[in-house]
Structure 1
């Protein structure tokens, strides 16, 4: 690894300048990789690119912990991000950072890089990696070089697509026999309808086919899997924690962990599933730190794709909690539908009757009540 080689050579010098040079050389250096696949025609996205939220969250984690960052892509230059919310706190921070924006406007070509220069590599997700990064031979080389020199390999969401064909020097796939995760088949079903038909493979299936021991949490919940120096995150809400895990793996003990409202909200939902009283107490202590509308939507999607009674119960608990702070006819209907799936028609009818008082003209609520 670059850091180790420089330290070995520089310690032979005895001047004050040599000591300060070693200190600088010991600062970890992370390569952040973005897809170059994105394309727009007349303002319309015709090919998906990278996920800006994931770039900005991970960049801030690395930057806040004094880690050098190089942004790179297969084609170099400025890659195209998928549509994103510029008002999110992490995106605002990136967009207002001149150094970050300069790096993004002129990313380095992967082909010109040497793995010896980096202590870690982080693959940013988005749908683009499913089209270009998974088959980029230069990226495969860099990942292999960084991993085999004891560096850290991280990826989030669809970023692990870049790992599926990486082979080590012994011919084995990098992910073979290792615990790994990424955007799940269930999440593709729920959220990937636009581009999924064009994918060559589903990420979960391919990681398993390469020998990966695939792990996952519930739909759009936070899951970070750490297997030695391979660190993967399931979806956008796993981004910051994946980057934090990489920072720790690079030997930084006192980690500055930037916290974001959407990530806090996901973790609150997970806590509610485990300990309702603790979740309520945590929310009441600082409600401004959470996005209640987002909590409601997590509950709606959890209910729609629930496969077990426990999952349905958790979804109802989350929606009912969010409903007291943010209400919408869709939430009311989804709660009632979940009760029907639990064979609790009495509670379903009672829920709809309460909803009808709030939304007396809603035809869907009227129709469902009539069926019950």
Structure 2
């Protein structure tokens, strides 16, 4: 399934301080410019009226870079503090970032892209979220920064919708940066499954292909990182950590293997089911505390709901049934039954719903679906 496997090197234990002032960076400290969208906007009620950047992707990447001893400078089209999409402050990586006062202060005073001196950076890394589709996709300043960093033998990285910033980046020889290069980004299937609230101006995967990219993708919300020379791109939020680690490796630094998040492990376990179902199931049963059971269940639900291949439907059912044995949730029973109906296995669906109705007699969804199948 994988086009590329990111192999991490050796862990390090030293954690260096990251800074957000270009003048404070030294020649010996690798410097990464982390670019965020400025498109986000909130209404008077505090709710988003325009999408911003993805906080999870920012915090995960920052923690990887910090652990590797990289100096991080935040930048955005408008400068100051950009607005993030809704995020969970209690996630371990977000907590770690928010507890780092220097990191929070740096995020609150991002450089304007027009003020950035590209020669000071060894890499530029574009964080996703829906916002980049509206501003970074057409921002001339970020494209000039990307071109200069790349032509200075630096590294260009982007994750999820961040690769929108790579569109129409023209090198000095007239070639587009991503032409004939392996590139990953949020897939059309993922847009169809998860992009409901915002009307995007285009489909990112299609535009990348129009730019001549050799577009690479894995399954729905699975981890895919593509490395083509000094160009590194990740498919979705669960590709973030490995994308940042790939940047660290290209910088010639030891990759911090100890930076390892539960949700990323869970996605990789789900991928393992496609290769060896029995081994993956045994791993979950033996070490379930290492994984996010509800994330595994939701991934199974979406795999089954949006399956285009029989194996995706089968793995979706397997994941949901495996987790249901632990969480015992009526929504999962309904989703599993619908998946069996998609397999044209009505008898199994009815049997499951009958058992579920006995466990959850007041659940209207279960009763309604069972009634419809009994008529």
Scaled by the length of structure 2, what TM-score is found?
0.90
1:126 and 2:93 aligned: no
Match of 1:163 in 2: 166
Q: Deviations over 1:284-334 (max 9, x none)?
A: 443222110111111111111011211111101111111111132221111
1:295 and 2:292 aligned: no
CA drift of 1:213 comes to 1.2
Equivalent of 1:88 in 77, 86, 91 = 91
CA contact (8 A) 1:61 1:256 kept: no
Q: Deviations over 1:201-248 (max 9, x none)?
A: 110110011111111111111111111111111111110010001101
**2:218 is paired with a residue of what secondary structure?**
coil
Match of 2:139 in 1: 136
Rounded Cα–Cα distance in structure 2 between residues aligned with 1:297 and 1:75 = 36
CA drift of 1:146 comes to 0.7
Match of 1:228 in 2: 229
CA drift of 1:175 comes to 0.9
- After TM superposition, the runs of 4+ consecutive aligned structure 1 residues lying more than 4 A away are none
**2:158 is paired with a residue of what secondary structure?**
strand
Rounded Cα–Cα distance in structure 2 between residues aligned with 1:72 and 1:257 = 27
Rounded Cα–Cα distance in structure 1 between residues aligned with 2:187 and 2:109 = 32
Mark the CA change 1:254 to 1:209 in structure 2 (over 3 Å): closer, same or farther.
closer
Report how many residues are paired. Answer: 348
Rounded Cα–Cα distance in structure 2 between residues aligned with 1:55 and 1:333 = 35
User: Once structures 1 and 2 are overlaid, which stretch shifts more, 311-320 or 341-350?
Assistant: 341-350
1:237 and 2:238 aligned: yes
CA contact (8 A) 1:140 1:163 kept: yes
Rounded Cα–Cα distance in structure 1 between residues aligned with 2:330 and 2:255 = 46
CA contact (8 A) 1:72 1:109 kept: yes
1:44 and 2:9 aligned: no
Match of 1:185 in 2: 188
Rounded Cα–Cα distance in structure 1 between residues aligned with 2:225 and 2:327 = 29
Rounded Cα–Cα distance in structure 1 between residues aligned with 2:357 and 2:310 = 26
Match of 1:342 in 2: 343
Match of 2:211 in 1: 210
Rounded Cα–Cα distance in structure 2 between residues aligned with 1:320 and 1:119 = 47
Equivalent of 1:75 in 59, 64, 78 = 78
Q: Deviations over 1:60-92 (max 9, x none)?
A: 000000011101111111111111100000000
Rounded Cα–Cα distance in structure 1 between residues aligned with 2:131 and 2:303 = 26
CA drift of 1:257 comes to 4.3
- CA root-mean-square deviation: 1.5
User: Once structures 1 and 2 are overlaid, which stretch shifts more, 94-103 or 338-347?
Assistant: 338-347
Rounded Cα–Cα distance in structure 1 between residues aligned with 2:225 and 2:74 = 22
Rounded Cα–Cα distance in structure 2 between residues aligned with 1:251 and 1:369 = 59
Larger RCO (alpha carbons 8 Å, 6+ apart): 2
CA contact (8 A) 2:248 2:255 kept: no
Tell which structure's C-alpha radius of gyration is larger: 1
**1:324 is paired with a residue of what secondary structure?**
helix
Rounded Cα–Cα distance in structure 2 between residues aligned with 1:336 and 1:156 = 35
Equivalent of 2:68 in 65, 82, 97 = 65
Rounded Cα–Cα distance in structure 2 between residues aligned with 1:326 and 1:273 = 23
Query: 5+ residue gaps in structure 1?
Result: 1-22
CA contact (8 A) 1:64 1:256 kept: no
CA contact (8 A) 2:225 2:239 kept: yes
User: Once structures 1 and 2 are overlaid, which stretch shifts more, 325-334 or 169-178?
Assistant: 325-334
Rounded Cα–Cα distance in structure 2 between residues aligned with 1:45 and 1:308 = 36
Rounded Cα–Cα distance in structure 1 between residues aligned with 2:266 and 2:254 = 26
User: Once structures 1 and 2 are overlaid, which stretch shifts more, 177-186 or 53-62?
Assistant: 177-186
Rounded Cα–Cα distance in structure 2 between residues aligned with 1:262 and 1:253 = 23
Q: Deviations over 1:153-185 (max 9, x none)?
A: 110111000001211111111111111111111
CA contact (8 A) 1:30 1:119 kept: yes
CA contact (8 A) 1:144 1:168 kept: yes
